[in-house]
Amino acid sequence: MGLLETILNRTFGKVHIMVTVGKKPAVEILFRDSEIILDVKNPILAAEAGLDQMLSRHHQLTTSSKRLNGLKNMGYKIKLKYKNLEYEL
């Protein structure tokens, strides 16, 4: 079992993470059973945070997609949610 898998197994049901831009919430990350839910609170701020992250670490984009695929291969579902809309990545 990898380190990431160990950490995720221990945090489910115990942790949620709020990503903010300034003092305003952009995205809340929830861990539920075998799901990781990205609950978008403000799509403009979420896009701003994502672009900022992408531009500051553009050479690591392939690593980020490998992490996403790694989570899926471990059996986790990753969902993007905004209000009543929900999309599985």
More confident of the two residues 57 and 28:
28
| Separation between Cα atoms, residue 88 and residue 77, nearest integer Å | 7
79 with 37: CB under 8 angstroms?
yes
The number of domains in the chain is: 1
pLDDT (tens digit, 9 = 90+) per residue, 49-82? 888 877 777 666 566 677 788 888 888 899 999 9
Q: What is the pTM of this model?
A: 0.73
| Separation between Cα atoms, residue 49 and residue 51, nearest integer Å | 6
Least confident of 16-25, 26-35, 48-57: 48-57
Tell me which residue range forms the domain holding 52: 3-88
